Amino acid sequence: MAEGTLTFSPDDRYNAFLRTVSPARYGEGRLSGVPVAVKDNISTAGIETTCGSRILSGYVPPYDATVITLLKKAGAAIVGKTNMDEFGMGSTTENSAFGPTKNPRDETRVPGGSSGGSAAAVAAGLVPLALGTDTGGSIRCPAAFCGIVGLKPTYGRVSRYGLVAYANSLEQIGPMAADVAHVSLLMSVIAGHDPKDSTSLDAPYAHTPSPDIRGTRIGVPEEFFGEGVDPRVASVVWDAISLLERKGAEIVTCRMPSMAYALAAYYVTCMSEASSNLARYDGVRYGPPADVRKPWHEAFQERRREGFGLEVRRRIMIGTFSLSSGYYGKYYAKAQAARQNVRKDFRRLFAEVDVIAGPTMPTVAFRFGEKSDPLSMYLSDILTVPANLAGIPAISVPCGKVEGLPVGLQIMGRWLEDERVIDVAYAYEQGANP
């Protein structure tokens, strides 16, 4: 079925809403009248954008992000903003200043993060499509935990203009939906060059997913099934990989030594960039007005202490330390060297295989409060951060369950080969749901 003719099934839970909309109201286009939810760190003109933070409570952007402009041109109905970890800093959506989001699959468990609100909205049937952002797994993690599909596109393939910055060199806006075909449809709307974004690539997306993966070489790094990965999750993912083999793919086991340093390189990099990006929230440029009767540094500290949550303050402090005089070379510079090693590892692997497969997350969704210390929370990102460090596309597709909770299969591909990643995910989906 061609992308332009893709439709939504009549028994979808949002069909009642679709009957109330019309092209006259939302305009003709591939998404005419289709409801779309938008993560709350993407600027929407006239609609409050808080990034899940008290410091931006009441902030209404005067302009639309480029992806919002493209959605409107396609006739989409933007129905609301979704909850998130504050400024994208978290893997559970528990760090939102406005309270946590519940996982529709089990309301005692987290939906993942930081795009947990978008994933939960799709999983609950509130909307068919949603936008998330992915800095170190923030689309793929909640997609896996909530049992939906989420794509982190190649860095630069979707404009970041209007995305409130957290870690510029890592983050990417991407589509989320209940199945691969709808992710592909939304990707076709939001991808393309944007002169307002200096990192934007001239690489539009116009692709119809194909289940034919005969001859595709799929690499499976041993490190993706190592320490910390729940054996039950590993077993489900291996079953999914075996299905792809039965569909005609060739499975190649391999090694990725740089995984030992990827998580540390990611967190030093993202926290350093966060320290720089969030300096603007000072009560003068952004945030509630500071008390001008006090000395500037006191007013600055007071406003940020009141406006930022604990996790954001923690990351700003660590990032500031790693960039400080005397420590820059010991931490930030070394993190960039480790990042280059991750990229080299991917280039080496992609000379031998077409895509790389493994679990999206090392466990299924955990209960609220279960991972209360920062280190255990950060370790949950171990399998998703490499794709962000390298800027390559990666998708999470549901591949089974453990104790009734969804497990995600992650497929990563070469730079700008988002189409191949989507095809492999689609082949699995069609094979698992004939």
Question: 289 pLDDT exceeds 80?
Answer: no
**What ranges in 380-417 are assigned the alpha helix state H?**
385-390
Is 154 a domain residue?
Answer: yes
Listed in order, strand segments (DSSP E) in 10-91 are 35-39, 77-82
Only one residue has tokens 């952004």, namely 286
Is 176 a domain residue?
Answer: yes
Overall number of domains in the chain: 1
Q: With bands split at pLDDT 50, 70 and 90, how would you rate the model's confidence at 162?
A: very high
Q: With bands split at pLDDT 50, 70 and 90, how would you rate the model's confidence at 369?
A: very high
Other C-beta atoms within 10 Å of 44: how many?
Answer: 20
Mean pLDDT, range 263-271, rounded to an integer: 97
CATH code of the domain containing 62:
3.90.1300.10
Mean pLDDT, range 137-144, rounded to an integer: 98
Question: 432 pLDDT exceeds 90?
Answer: yes
Is 323 a domain residue?
Answer: no
Average pLDDT, the chain: 92
Structure tokens at 366: 């955990």
Mean pLDDT, range 68-97, rounded to an integer: 97
**Alpha-carbon gap, residue 434 to 429, rounded angstroms:** 8
pLDDT of residue 288: 78
What pairs with residue 402 in β-bridges? 405
Question: 49 pLDDT exceeds 70?
Answer: yes
Which of the pair, 339 or 283, is modelled with greater confidence?
A: 339
Mean pLDDT, range 327-334, rounded to an integer: 93
Is 376 a domain residue?
Answer: yes
Is 208 a domain residue?
Answer: yes
| Whether residue 39 lies in the annotated active site | yes
**Alpha-carbon gap, residue 100 to 110, rounded angstroms:** 8
**Alpha-carbon gap, residue 263 to 360, rounded angstroms:** 14
Is 393 a domain residue?
Answer: yes
Question: 13 pLDDT exceeds 70?
Answer: no
Q: Considering 53, 114, 115, 159, which one is annotated as catalytic?
A: 114
Is 283 a domain residue?
Answer: no
Q: With bands split at pLDDT 50, 70 and 90, how would you rate the model's confidence at 429?
A: very high
| Whether residue 372 lies in the annotated active site | no
* Phi-psi category of residue 345: left, alpha or beta, with phi > 0 → left and psi -120 to 50 → alpha: alpha
Question: 426 pLDDT exceeds 80?
Answer: yes
Classify strands 405-413 and 355-359 as parallel, antiparallel or unpaired: antiparallel
Question: 74 pLDDT exceeds 90?
Answer: yes
**Alpha-carbon gap, residue 138 to 116, rounded angstroms:** 8
pLDDT of residue 294: 80
pLDDT of residue 17: 43
**Alpha-carbon gap, residue 424 to 434, rounded angstroms:** 15
pLDDT of residue 26: 60
Mean pLDDT, range 363-375, rounded to an integer: 92
Q: With bands split at pLDDT 50, 70 and 90, how would you rate the model's confidence at 300?
A: confident
pLDDT of residue 299: 76
* 114 upstream amide cis, omega within 30 of 0: yes
Query: What does the pLDDT look like over 382-418, one tens digit per residue?
Result: 999 999 999 999 999 999 999 999 999 999 999 999 9
Mean pLDDT, range 146-175, rounded to an integer: 98
Q: Considering 39, 81, 152, 371, which one is annotated as catalytic?
A: 39
Question: 291 pLDDT exceeds 90?
Answer: no
In 3D space, the residue among 241, 206, 103, 175 whose CA is nearest the CA of residue 395 turns out to be 175
Q: Is 236 exposed, middle or buried (0-12, 13-18, 19+ CB in 10 A)?
A: buried
| Whether residue 235 lies in the annotated active site | no
Domain of 58 in residue numbering reads as 3-256+340-432
331-335, 349-353, 430-434: range with lowest mean pLDDT: 430-434
CA angle 404, 405, 411 (to 5 degrees): 130
Only one residue has tokens 């490190």, namely 223
Question: 54 pLDDT exceeds 90?
Answer: yes
Percent of the chain residues topping a pLDDT of 70: 94
Q: With bands split at pLDDT 50, 70 and 90, how would you rate the model's confidence at 25?
A: low
Instruction: Collect all residues with Cβ–Cβ distance below 8 Å to 263 and sequence separation of at least 6.
Output: 378, 379, 381, 382, 385
**Alpha-carbon gap, residue 319 to 16, rounded angstroms:** 47
281-285, 338-342, 343-347: range with lowest mean pLDDT: 281-285
In 3D space, the residue among 192, 179, 163, 89 whose CA is nearest the CA of residue 128 turns out to be 179
Structure tokens at 271: 């926290």
Question: 23 pLDDT exceeds 70?
Answer: no
pLDDT of residue 29: 86
pLDDT of residue 373: 85
**Alpha-carbon gap, residue 148 to 54, rounded angstroms:** 29
pLDDT of residue 353: 98
Query: What does the pLDDT look like over 95-123, one tens digit per residue?
Result: 999 999 999 999 999 999 999 999 999 99
Is 175 a domain residue?
Answer: yes
Mean pLDDT, range 364-391, rounded to an integer: 94
What pairs with residue 174 in β-bridges? 132
Query: What does the pLDDT look like over 182-213, one tens digit per residue?
Result: 999 999 999 999 999 999 999 999 999 999 99
Q: Considering 53, 91, 138, 322, which one is annotated as catalytic?
A: 138
